[in-house]
Amino acid sequence: MALLRVTAACGARGASIDDYLDATELSRPTIYRLLKGLREEGFLRPSPVRHRYLLGYELLVLGAEAGNGASLRDLSRPRLLKLAQSLGDSFYLFAHDGRHAVCLEVQNGAYPVGSFVASIGGRVLLGAGQASIALLASLEPDERDWILAANRDELADRYDIAIDAVEAEIERCREHGYARGVEGSSLPEFTGLALPLLDHSRRCLGAMSCSMLKSRMTPTHREAVLTAMSEQIDELVSQAHGLLRTEP
Amino acid sequence: MALLRVTAACGARGASIDDYLDATELSRPTIYRLLKGLREEGFLRPSPVRHRYLLGYELLVLGAEAGNGASLRDLSRPRLLKLAQSLGDSFYLFAHDGRHAVCLEVQNGAYPVGSFVASIGGRVLLGAGQASIALLASLEPDERDWILAANRDELADRYDIAIDAVEAEIERCREHGYARGVEGSSLPEFTGLALPLLDHSRRCLGAMSCSMLKSRMTPTHREAVLTAMSEQIDELVSQAHGLLRTEP
DNA sequence: GAGTTCGTCTCACATAACGAGACTTAGAGG
DNA sequence: CCTCTAAGTCTCGTTATGTGAGACGAACTC
């Protein structure tokens, strides 16, 4: 697994033996042995640049499956796209994973944005960003509490976000039904909105969020975004519900 | 790796201990030991259904990276989308991997289609499908020859495709600059087109393909699709070229 | 044809994975 | 409330199997 991560970190150029030797404590023969195994399983493949290795296509299959619990990703993809095209902002699908929110899918719109996550698979500490608030607001109280307790220091250090502010936003989200981001020191010029994806039994499947320049967030635009998002979410959830029925 | 594949095969419901016990030769304690390691590395995560395991979100990152050699996937995604929306057919990005073509990205259009690959990560034997032809036509002759030799029996058995027909189509692709599918026994009601993605130095980066109902393939539609695809490809290749320059 | 790097091989050693089975939780169901 | 079953952990003795040092062959560079 360490070798896979090293390979990923080396990007499109591929990883060389020296990259592996530097990044791990393993000896050269051992690395070759492991590499061979990973290649045979399709987890690595030779780079067009000789003597370098790239991540194998078998990981594509696993990656696609990993992000597609309950087909949420496949279902949300065209919807995020539609939102991004019609409204111009960037839209995201997030899932809850321990102390973090994981980005399962992005569609960037015409207007540029900054965001806490760079791309699919990116993680944000729960508490930072509007999607976090939507997720936290939909969790069981005791789970939410331990997460906030666990993240408190890091939120303060890295984002300059206070737990009180997060809890206030969670409360606000409960009342108004949608989440805004908590003001922190990072990304001051951007803002966003998020909505939870709730099961018919009110279990939280994830959150859909959007990010935009603060200057674009007029009351009318906010209304437009919220309306469009909840429309997409309603359709998505009933679609997902229909699919789940066929499964067991 | 076997455990990961078992987990993937179990889908959204998750894999239970018995799934692992049945699918492998390992003992119960060993499975738990391995599962623990995979969980700690983020390659597996607990399912909402107790006592079941799902693929972890760390695989998202690896999967996204694996399919994104030279950023081809990120760059092609919006373009495939545009094509699917404006033309209504389904568009694919393929890469060459050994004896197979791997699907890196799909965008389905409004019209339904059947295809050899189910989804991202799906493999087709080189020789079957129009993307295969485009890839084969762009490979070195000696590599193409061993691939065709290796695939001959399987192509005949599973798809009822003869090597001669494949080679004729490759020749045709060289002349006309685009690939059609080879007629076989499977999917008789569908057809498609494909174009290779060629580097500025004529190295083959992959192939873009499209699939449609035979009834939609009128001469004018064919021209429209080919024109739109090559336009997207030209832009894509020069974009990719620009990115690569920044890398070393 | 000399030099360098890449990948494999051998081998002795000790780590550390293994399975059998006992044990502890934790639910489920009556 | 109490049994019953299944989930997950632990101990332990055995053995295999992965390990590093270093030598070796192969391939590419200059």
Across A25-29, B81-85, B113-117, least confident range: B113-117
Q: What CATH number is given to the structural domain containing A20? A: 1.10.10.10
Parallel/antiparallel/unpaired status of strands A100-107 and A90-97: antiparallel
* pLDDT, tens only, B24-78: 888 898 999 899 999 989 999 998 888 899 999 999 999 999 988 778 998 898 8
Put simply, whether A198 touches B (Cβ < 8 Å) is no
* Cα gap A193→A148, rounded to integer Å: 20
User: What's A5's DSSP letter?
Assistant: H
Query: How many separate domains does chain B show?
Result: 2
**Dihedral class, residue B11 (left if φ above 0, else alpha if ψ from -120 to 50, else beta):** left
**CB-CB neighbors (< 8 A) of A8 in chain B:** 61-62, 65-66
* pLDDT, tens only, B172-215: 999 999 998 877 767 778 899 999 999 888 888 899 999 999 99
Domain boundary, last residue among A15, A36, A62: A62
Q: What is the pLDDT of residue A89?
A: 94
A73 and A181 in a single domain? The answer is: yes
How distant is C1' of C4 from CA of A20, in Å?
20
B80 and B16 in a single domain? The answer is: no
Parallel/antiparallel/unpaired status of strands A52-55 and A44-46: antiparallel
Put simply, whether A114 touches B (Cβ < 8 Å) is no
Q: What is the pLDDT of residue A247?
A: 42
**Contact (Cβ atoms closer than 8 angstroms) between residue A103 and residue A64:** no
What is the distance between the terminal CA atoms of chain A, rounded to a whole angstrom? 32
Q: What is the pLDDT of residue B245?
A: 52
B157 and B214 in a single domain? The answer is: yes
The torsion defined by the Cα of A17, A23, A24 and A25, in degrees rounded to 10, comes to 100
Full DSSP string of A190-225: EEEEEEEEE-TT--EEEEEEEEEEGGG--HHHHHHH
- Contact at CB, B70 and A12, closer than 8 angstroms: yes
* pLDDT, tens only, A106-131: 988 888 787 778 788 999 999 999 99
A42 and A74 in a single domain? The answer is: no
* Cα gap B1→A158, rounded to integer Å: 35
**Which residues does A121 contact at the CB level (< 8 Å), separation at least 6?**
A63, A67, A102, A103, B57, B58, B60, B61, B62, B63, B64
Element holding A100 (H helix, E strand): strand A100-107
With CA of A35 and C1' of each nucleotide, the nearest comes out as C7
Which of B69, B120, B123 comes nearest A12 by C-beta?
B69
Kindly report the bases of strand D lying within 7 A of a protein C-beta atom: 6-11, 18-22
Average pLDDT estimate for A8-18 = 88
Give the chain A residue nearest B105 (alpha carbons). Answer: A60
Is the pLDDT at A145 greater than 80? The verdict is yes
What is the distance between the terminal CA atoms of chain B, rounded to a whole angstrom? 32
B78 and B148 in a single domain? The answer is: yes
Gap from A241 CA to chain B (nearest CA, Å): 13
B58 and B94 in a single domain? The answer is: no
Decide: residue B172, CB within 10 A, 0-12 exposed, 13-18 middle, 19+ buried. Answer: middle
Give the chain B residue nearest A243 (alpha carbons). Answer: B12
* pLDDT, tens only, A189-199: 889 999 999 98
How distant is C1' of D27 from CA of B243, in Å?
32
B235 and B146 in a single domain? The answer is: yes
- Contact at CB, B64 and A121, closer than 8 angstroms: yes
B202 and B112 in a single domain? The answer is: yes
Cβ-based neighbour number of residue B248 at 10 Å: 5
A167 and A92 in a single domain? The answer is: yes
Among B residues 133-192, those touching chain A with beta carbons less than 8 Å apart: none
Segments forming the whole domain that contains residue A92 = 67-245
Domain boundary, last residue among B45, B62, B79: B62
- Contact at CB, B57 and A121, closer than 8 angstroms: yes
Q: What is the pLDDT of residue A244?
A: 58
Decide: residue B54, CB within 10 A, 0-12 exposed, 13-18 middle, 19+ buried. Answer: buried
Which of B13, B63, B71 comes nearest A63 by C-beta?
B63
Q: What CATH number is given to the structural domain containing B182? A: 3.30.450.40
A124 and A233 in a single domain? The answer is: yes
Is the pLDDT at A148 greater than 90? The verdict is yes
**Contact (Cβ atoms closer than 8 angstroms) between residue A162 and residue A183:** no
A72 and A87 in a single domain? The answer is: yes
Domain boundary, last residue among B62, B85, B105: B62
How distant is C1' of C30 from CA of A67, in Å?
41
Protein residue minimizing CA–C1' distance to C18: B30
B119 and B26 in a single domain? The answer is: no
Which of B41, B67, B121 comes nearest A1 by C-beta?
B41
**Which residues does B111 contact at the CB level (< 8 Å), separation at least 6?**
B88, B89, B90, B212, B213, B216
Is the pLDDT at A246 greater than 50? The verdict is no
- Contact at CB, B59 and A59, closer than 8 angstroms: yes
- Contact at CB, B60 and A55, closer than 8 angstroms: no
Is the alpha carbon torsion for A128, A81, A234, A199 positive or negative? negative
With CA of A36 and C1' of each nucleotide, the nearest comes out as C7
